[in-house]
Structure 1
Amino acid sequence: MSSKLSNEVISSLSALISSLMGLHFPEDRYADLERGIVAAAGDFGFSDTLEFIHWLNTATLSRHHVEALAANLTIGETYFFRDAGSFKALEESILPAIVSARKDTSRLRIWSAGCSTGEEPYSIAILIKRMSHLFKDWNVTIIGTDINAKALKKAFDGVYTEWSFRGAPPWLKDGYFTKKDAFYEIAPEIRQMVTFSFLNLAEDVYPSLLNNTSAIDMILCRNVLMYFSPDVAGRVIHGFHNSLLEGGYLFLSPTEGLRMTSYPFKALSLENTTVYKKGSLDGPKEALAPAYAPLWQVLAQDGETRDLPLGFVGSEVREEARREPSNAPGVEAASAPVPALPSTDAAERLLRDGLYVEAARVLESIVSVKGAEGPATGLLARAYANQGRLDLAIAWCEKALAADNLNPIKHYLLATILQEQGRPEDAVKSLRKALYLDHDFVLAHFVLGNLLVRLGDPDGAIRQYRNALRLTSKMAPDDLIPESDGVTAGRLNEIINSTTRTRAF
């Protein structure tokens, strides 16, 4: 390897890395960048770091190259029950509050974003297990995502060394791990509580039914945003806001919280830890009051909403939607023009902007006039699913299927909602129906593969992944996958390949 890099070289490299992947290395983090690039050079097969940097400047990098590089530059140091204050706040305040607020659904969804080698989501699973008196008969979903396939492989295996237990409570190893030589393997009952998957926070789409990141109660993303440029960090926070239910919680590291002043979260100080809360737990009840006509009036004729500042998307629309329409002086109410029925395009735009309650209002009005036969029914199911109202989402899916039982997309949508509801076996049945009706339904193959992994059928999962890869190989890399929220064929290929490497089939 080369000797220490000059400031000029590292400054140029920092600009290159920022342009390639949105990672931010200011001058006070040049040492971190140098350590990461030296490690990456070896992984890419270069014995000389300067030669590797030259290659980065001249080569056409694939998404796989970029993410392999990012994995070396964003090394996450983690251990079990890191930041005791956060876990005390979870145990004594936040989880009991969620139990009280969600007792009608008995459903909890937690996302560890940037989970590295898995200690954080497993710590949460162990905490919930220890609080089982509160979560009896609950459907608990914990997902861990990361860009680093090697780290995810370790998380999936669940085998750790003493280093992962520094500062951990004394009961942890004896109660939830089996010692094997110098290693500790996590208990199967805890491993089964967590699902790990590959996700690039800077590039991938969320919230999405595809990657199970919608209708989340709590997101933990600590020591991750620090790697991103301000613009990329803003997009990530915006995605988190849309992924969270009203009243949901976001955990960041203390320094990353400085970025939150421009976003619609309320900062809570608990156990010397700052937690960010979206809206209020009573918010959805207020927002569901009928307000169709005022909402239509803020939709442009082309079905698009006004452009709103990042971080406050939807605040103007929500305010308009709560106002009662008024008539001009001297004009009788009966003579007021009746607004035209909005289009499903308008509702889709609201869904993309994270305005799920408003989208549901528009779609309810369309369905009330046009019935369950059109596309509005399926979109309404999505709107309810993104609010966490899964019983309503399933009911509308079933109405859509009653009107058109031979539509594979509606069977697929039902499967994704059943998956969120914690009914993987029923979701598999719906996916098989979708594939019976359309053998070339790429996403159905991929999601079925993920579910079969979860259900302990790796051979079946591999068959489905191969089917998906066979179909995407016939597409151009930039072609959009139908029903995917904007995922391209090339990107799905990379996700599948990363998934299979992580799980070592």
Structure 2
Amino acid sequence: MNQFLIEHFVKIIAHNTGLFIRPQDWHTLQRKLLVRVNALKLSSLEEYYQLLSKDTYQNRIQLQLSSPFSYPLKPAMDNGDNGLSSEMGGQKEWKELLQLLTTGESYFFRDSGQFLLLKNIILPELIAEQRKVWQQQGKDRPTLRIWSAGCSTGEEPYSLAILLTEIIPDWQFWHLHIVGTDINSDSIKKAKKGLYGSWSFRTVDEQKKNSYFIPGKSGWQIKDSIKQLVKFEYGNLVKDNFPDFSADIANIDLIVCRNVFVYFEAEAIAHVLRKFYQTLRPGGYLFTAHAELYGQQLDGFSTKVFPESVVYQRPLVSDFVDTHPGHTGELQLPHKGQIAVDLPNGRSADFSNSLSSSYLHPTHHPKAHNSRLKHHLINPKLDANMTPIASGSPHDSLSLSIVPPIAEPLELGALESEVSLSSAETSVDVKLEELNLLFKTHQYSEVIKIAKKIISVDPNNCEAYYLLAKTFANLGNYLEAEKYCHQAIKLNYNWIEPYYLMAGIAEEKGDVDTAKSILRKIIYLFPSSIDAYLQIAELYEKEGDFTRAKKMRINVIFLLEKMPINTWIGREDDQIKVEDLLKYMKKLLVD
């Protein structure tokens, strides 16, 4: 592999699409590039690079300055077969290449929590506002404008259309403008057809499916009453100019852009967010997938935290002074008064060490005793050059952490003798081990009190925020737990444990889609996270998707086989040898 040349392909792809291609995926990238080289009957990757650089005159100038070749860039030769002698050839070829670089994975009403939030709070608010505008301005019909940015094969915008017809009694009287865009032109073609297989309905009940779709030999066809509400167009979030009044993508009430930014470089995310801000009307909302914007710079957006999701709003001028496009502000958590919805504290789950059920049954544990393998594994020392299974998708690659069982409660006298924290000790120098001891012995009120004192002295103490998050999670107050997780991630974007905590909270709330989304984020950020693979495998298994569950476990085996077999992974008294865990995983696949 010509690493120097591939690096320049990575740069030009990021520049034109925002897509971040990790070094471990470069071999896969090269194979996909060669597919296009052969299809176009070009002589080399260098010639293909020149073709891609023909997108615009400005790009050619920029790429000339950073060309990987010692000779000037020149137009790719027209051999009579490829028809690519014009500048349009480069633009056309980008669309072809993106069929290989992007894959669509979607289904109807994906992330039930976010759709519940849309149904009960966000959309009713937007609908009421637009009714008011209609009455004040005397327009023919009220209008609601929604953009599904990165719509894949269309399940998301069609789900939004169905939802609107269910919550607006007189929806036929409205002008409902729903547009879906995607960088994969094949996905757009499928979306326009509106024909779907059973996998797209994995979370949809039969009644809803029969109400809005017509069964046929090739699948389920969406009814015309819904289909006519949605328009689909090819769109490149990084390169396209928007707001775009000619394409009717402007003054949008709601932008839904989920599971897109997870593939983007931070710089590209910031660029797109600035354009989203300008495209939303004041008061409009932006929805992203969970954990996609943590630590990201925002342009004037107001952050709102709900139990189901964090959402971002372009504030009204009266609500937010600095709303000009150039304003840059870091993602801020709302003050307590801004939190829109709270959760009842009746439910509780133990988040002392883990966030979901154990992924290894105690009786099947290779070290047969009462401990359980759990999440937050301590990462063993892995080869820095180790490459996960290459599939071209950041969702297919993961770090191993095994935590000990919950400590037995200490006697009160022992606790008092070992943990005596005076007000003077609630400084930056307070040992977090003592705070952890209070947490392990379920002294939650003390943990909250002391952790907040630590934060008052050291506002950047992310471990104190994380302990608060775990404490509130154990108390069943998931909203507060998520709030402190967000703060910990804001302080340390690369700390893995708050992500796991949020995934566990989502699973405990029954929001499996959110849990999987966060776990995929972990995999993307920390490609050797074995425990994230195992958790996703368990979630797939619960959904009956045994094929994907098996694929995740095969990835685990691949990672374990790259480690020395005598390496102990885990911590304290719950460690296990790589060899033992590997045997167990192989046995699990056979069984």
Q: TM-score, normalised by structure 2?
A: 0.44
Cα distance in 2 for partners of 1:52, 1:129 equals: 53
Cα distance in 1 for partners of 2:30, 2:210 equals: 39
Query: What's 1:81 paired with?
Result: 109
Alignment check: 8 A CA contact 1:162 1:183 kept: yes
Q: Among 18, 35, 51, which residue is 2:14 paired with?
A: 18
CA spacing shift, 1:260–1:58, aligned 2, 3 Å:
closer
Secondary structure of the corresponding residue to residue 258 of structure 1: coil
Query: What's 2:150 paired with?
Result: 114
Secondary structure of the corresponding residue to residue 103 of structure 1: helix
Query: What's 1:250 paired with?
Result: 286
User: Which residues in structure 2 correspond to 1:440-459 (within 5 Å)?
Assistant: none
Residue 68, structure 1, aligned to residue 96, structure 2: yes
CA spacing shift, 1:36–1:166, aligned 2, 3 Å:
farther
Query: What's 1:201 paired with?
Result: 237
Secondary structure of the corresponding residue to residue 110 of structure 2: coil
Deviation track 1:172-219 (CA, whole Å, cap 9, x = no partner) reads 321111111141111010100001112211111100211111110000
1:39 CA displacement: 4.6
The letter of the residue matching 2:49 is: N
Query: What's 1:468 paired with?
Result: none
Deviation track 1:369-412 (CA, whole Å, cap 9, x = no partner) reads xxxxxxxxxxxxxxxxxxxxxxxxxxxxxxxxxxxxxxxxxxxx
Deviation track 1:46-103 (CA, whole Å, cap 9, x = no partner) reads 499x986444334454122123223422323111111111100000110111122222
Secondary structure of the corresponding residue to residue 267 of structure 1: strand
User: Which residues in structure 2 correspond to 1:258-277 (within 5 Å)?
Assistant: 258=294, 260-277=296-313
Query: What's 2:129 paired with?
Result: 101
Q: Among 189, 207, 210, which residue is 1:174 paired with?
A: 210
Cα distance in 2 for partners of 1:283, 1:269 equals: 17
Alignment check: 8 A CA contact 1:247 1:283 kept: no
Cα distance in 1 for partners of 2:280, 2:219 equals: 36
Q: TM-score, normalised by structure 1?
A: 0.51
Secondary structure of the corresponding residue to residue 206 of structure 1: coil
Cα distance in 1 for partners of 2:169, 2:10 equals: 50
Alignment check: 8 A CA contact 1:222 1:251 kept: yes
Alignment check: 8 A CA contact 1:250 1:275 kept: yes
1:283 CA displacement: 5.2
Alignment check: 8 A CA contact 2:242 2:250 kept: yes
Cα distance in 2 for partners of 1:52, 1:186 equals: 44
Query: What's 2:48 paired with?
Result: 56
Alignment check: 8 A CA contact 1:107 1:140 kept: yes
Cα distance in 1 for partners of 2:178, 2:148 equals: 8
Alignment check: 8 A CA contact 2:37 2:43 kept: no
Cα distance in 1 for partners of 2:182, 2:325 equals: 30
1:272 CA displacement: 2.4
1:166 CA displacement: 1.8
Alignment check: 8 A CA contact 1:238 1:311 kept: no
Alignment check: 8 A CA contact 1:146 1:198 kept: yes
Q: Among 140, 149, 161, which residue is 2:197 paired with?
A: 161
Alignment check: 8 A CA contact 1:246 1:283 kept: no
Q: Among 269, 272, 281, which residue is 1:233 paired with?
A: 269
* Percent of paired sites with the same residue: 31
1:23 CA displacement: 2.5
Gaps of 5+ in 1: 288-306, 313-505
The letter of the residue matching 1:268 is: K
The letter of the residue matching 2:14 is: S
Cα distance in 2 for partners of 1:80, 1:40 equals: 32
Cα distance in 2 for partners of 1:240, 1:266 equals: 13
Say what the alpha-carbon RMSD is for the aligned residues. Answer: 3.1
User: Which residues in structure 2 correspond to 1:344-363 (within 5 Å)?
Assistant: none
1:310 CA displacement: 5.6
Secondary structure of the corresponding residue to residue 102 of structure 1: helix
CA spacing shift, 1:187–1:258, aligned 2, 3 Å:
same
CA spacing shift, 1:174–1:20, aligned 2, 3 Å:
closer
CA spacing shift, 1:40–1:177, aligned 2, 3 Å:
farther
Alignment check: 8 A CA contact 2:33 2:97 kept: yes
CA spacing shift, 1:92–1:265, aligned 2, 3 Å:
same
Alignment check: 8 A CA contact 1:238 1:310 kept: no
Alignment check: 8 A CA contact 1:41 1:47 kept: no
1:131 CA displacement: 1.4
The letter of the residue matching 2:272 is: V
Gaps of 5+ in 2: 55-89, 135-141, 330-591
